[in-house]
Amino acid sequence: MTAARPQSAQLSADVGRSKSDRLLIILGDQLTTTAPTFDRIDKGRDIILMCEVEEEATHVASSKQRTVMFLSAMRHFALDLIKSGHRVRYIKLDDPHNTHSLASEAKRTAKQHNATSILLTYPGEHRVLATFEDLESDLEVEIFPDTHFLVQPEQFNEWADGRKSLVMEYFYREQRRALGVLMTKQGKPVSGAWNLDKENRQSFKRAPNPPEPYRPEPDDITREVMALVERRFPDAPGRLADFRWPVTRRQALHALRSFISDRLERFGAHQDAMWTEQPWLYHSHISPLINLKLLDPREVYAAAIEAYEERSLPLNSVEGFVRQIIGWREFIRGVYWHQGPEYADRNALDQHATLPDCYWTADTDMACMHHAITPVLDHGYSHHIQRLMVTGNFALIAGIHPRAISDWYLGMFVDAVDWVTLPNTLGMAMHADGGIVGTKPYAASGKYIKRMSNYCEHCRYDPEKRTGEDACPFNTFYWDFLIRNQHPFSKNQRMTMIMKNVERMTKSQQTEITHEGRKLRERLGIGGVEARS
């Protein structure tokens, strides 16, 4: 028999008024006791402050799934801290004294306990960092490196400074060498190749039948948070009927083991494939668990390597997965801090259309968009190719403002934190940073979606047509996008072949596509691409 888990009511337990010199603040995406701040506090004397503030759930339109994910995981983590003897002051969303701002809750708690200093792990967002830096006029604020990550911002800056462009592949190779991951004794990549993506672009020839992922039933704490979110944010996007994300460290480890044992083997070959009614496929779905720090990246890649060595899993699957953890994830975070807060305002292609309503409802007759957005509303999730090549690609070629789509990703996904969403969206999906993250735009026509999914078989549009009533909107917008960006793309060597196809078009063909693109934008009610005066 195990002891009954303390319930959420215990979070309101009075921590007393006794003096504490230090206040340790733990943010919603910092749910780990391995942070160096824990070595600095006096357990049982210093106060740990965790707050559910409206400011964090509303500065972009946060989906119900995302808000429940963060709040439930925070509550479970706080209860574990209390059980292990920490003094935790936990401010719930519906606490009548809650001022709903991180800064004022920190000041209020510091005053109550006569605390003179605040300890904090480096946050995942420029805005939050600025909030705590501003507190320095009232309190001593010590900000510690986030050792969850494998590479610190200073190390990344050292690597990045002086380079003409920041190519992830080179960063990744250095990571492989430094960590000794999938390397031979002679310092070469195992199998001789660094990257096996050529083997990882298979579509499904017939309906796939992947194993069910581990998805725990919500416990009392999660159900209480779900009711709170429904009550407090009834108009927030998304649905909660099926919330089954892991929210504890134990559940997160279970989810990792389930992926490694059941799906990693087939992850690689089909990582870019899509299929109707199959949101999970062979993907890991652990990004929210790593980004909230319920999992450590070291244990994640180590588990994949161990499976490779013990079960002889295919290298293309293991390498593709490990690259996401030690390469892409660390690279993206490095770019976020290297580029600074101004990065959020980049709009290199000068696009200004608004986000179509279907991003909030999935109500569209474009089958691919419907099937890529529905899991976002149901689960706060879609896999990386649905994000990059369907919802992101559509925003890029339709001329949506990069911040409109970036805020959508930040608010709607359970794994979204600013450091990960911004460079992935502005840089990778929208080419809005002018080529820092991706050296060419990830623009694609309906042909790509047809090749990688069965979506087009269920669509009223024709993936072969680029103009006309039944033309695939991805085709119309793709060619319209290339035509209107001929000037910037003519300077990009990686676009030369593609732009030759535009040059081969007659002037009247180009005019027709431009006209159809404009009509399509009107029909979607998203305004023009150009800035409004």
Q: Which of 31, 247, 290, 449 binds ligand SF4 (CB under 6 A)?
A: 449
* Residues between 281 and 310 with contacts to ligand SF4, criterion CB under 6 A: none
CB 509, min distance to ligand SF4, A: 20
SS3 222: helix
Cβ(148)–Cβ(297) under 8 Å? yes
472 binds ligand SF4 (CB under 6 A): yes
| Residue number with CB closer to ligand SF4 (171 or 455) | 455
Query: Shortest distance, CB of residue 320 to ligand SF4, whole angstroms?
Result: 25
Q: How far apart are CA 490 and CA 440, in angstroms?
A: 12
Build a one-symbol-per-residue string for 451-470: x at contacts with ligand SF4 by CB under 6 A, - elsewhere: ----xx--x-x-x-------
For residue 352, the minimal CB distance to ligand SF4 (Å) is 23
As beta bridge partners, residue 89 has 49
Question: Among residues 169 and 464, whose Cβ is nearest to ligand SF4?
Answer: 464
C-beta of residue 150 within 8 angstroms of C-beta of residue 179: yes
The span of 189-197, 263-271, 274-282, 442-450 binding ligand SF4 (CB under 6 A) equals: 442-450
CB-CB contact of 242 with 172 (8 Å): no
Q: Which residue in the set 172, 243, 474, 481 belongs to the binding site for ligand SF4 (CB under 6 A)?
A: 474
Nearer to ligand SF4, 38 or 448 (CB): 448
Site string for ligand SF4, 349-368 (x = CB under 6 A): -----------------xxx
Q: Which has the closest alpha carbon to 308: 324, 299, 297, 319? A: 319
Task: Select 11 or 397, whichever has its Cβ closest to ligand SF4.
Answer: 397
Nearer to ligand SF4, 274 or 377 (CB): 274
Question: Quick one: 343 or 477, whose CB is closer to ligand SF4?
Answer: 477
- Measured from the CB atom, the residue of 339 and 453 that comes closer to ligand SF4 is 453
Residue from 13, 8, 100, 83 nearest 43 by CA = 83
Residue nearer to ligand SF4 on the CB measure, 367 or 502: 367
Which ranges of 313-432 does DSSP label H, i.e. alpha helix? 315-322, 329-339, 358-361, 367-379, 384-385, 393-398, 402-412, 418-422
Compare residues 429 and 459 and give the one whose CB is closer to ligand SF4. Answer: 459
288 touches 270 (CB < 8 A): no
Query: How many whole angstroms separate alpha carbon 420 and alpha carbon 431?
Result: 15
Site for ligand SF4 in 191-230 (CB under 6 A): none
Does residue number 450 form part of the binding site for ligand SF4 (CB under 6 A)? yes
Give me the least distance between CB of 61 and ligand SF4, in Å please: 25
Cβ pair 506, 514 in contact under 8 A: no
User: To the nearest whole angstrom, how small is the minimum distance from the Cβ of residue 276 to ligand SF4?
Assistant: 10
Q: What is the DSSP letter of 47?
A: E
Nearest to 398 by CA among 361, 369, 360, 437: 369
- Taking the C-alpha atoms of residue 35 and residue 119, their distance in angstroms, rounded to an integer, is 11
CA geometry: angle 206, 208, 309, nearest 5 deg = 125
- DSSP letter at 171 equals H
Structure tokens at 27: 């943010």
| Cβ atoms 304, 256 nearer than 8 A | no
Distance CA 6, CA 76 (A): 9
CB of 336 to ligand SF4, least distance (A): 31
* 91 touching ligand SF4, by CB under 6 A: no
- DSSP β-bridge partners for residue 25: 49, 120
H or E element that contains 453: none
Smaller CB separation from ligand SF4, 117 or 467: 467
Query: Would you say 128 or 449 has its CB closer to ligand SF4?
Result: 449
Q: Cβ of residue 450: shortest distance to ligand SF4, in angstroms? A: 6
The number of residues that bind ligand SF4 (CB under 6 A) is: 14
Smallest distance, Å, CB 160 to ligand SF4?
36
Summarize the chain as % helix, strand, coil (round to 5): 50, 5, 45
294 or 368: whose CB is closer to ligand SF4?
A: 368
Three-class DSSP category at 335:
helix
Q: How far is the CB of 202 from ligand SF4 (least distance, A)?
A: 19
What is the smallest separation between the CB atom of 457 and ligand SF4, expressed in angstroms? Answer: 8
| Nearest distance from C-beta of residue 531 to ligand SF4, angstroms | 27
Distance (Å, whole) CA 167 – CA 157: 13
- Tell the smallest beta-carbon distance from residue 464 to ligand SF4 (Å): 9
- Which residues are at the interface with ligand SF4 (CB under 6 A)? 366-368, 446, 449-450, 455-456, 459, 461, 463, 472-474
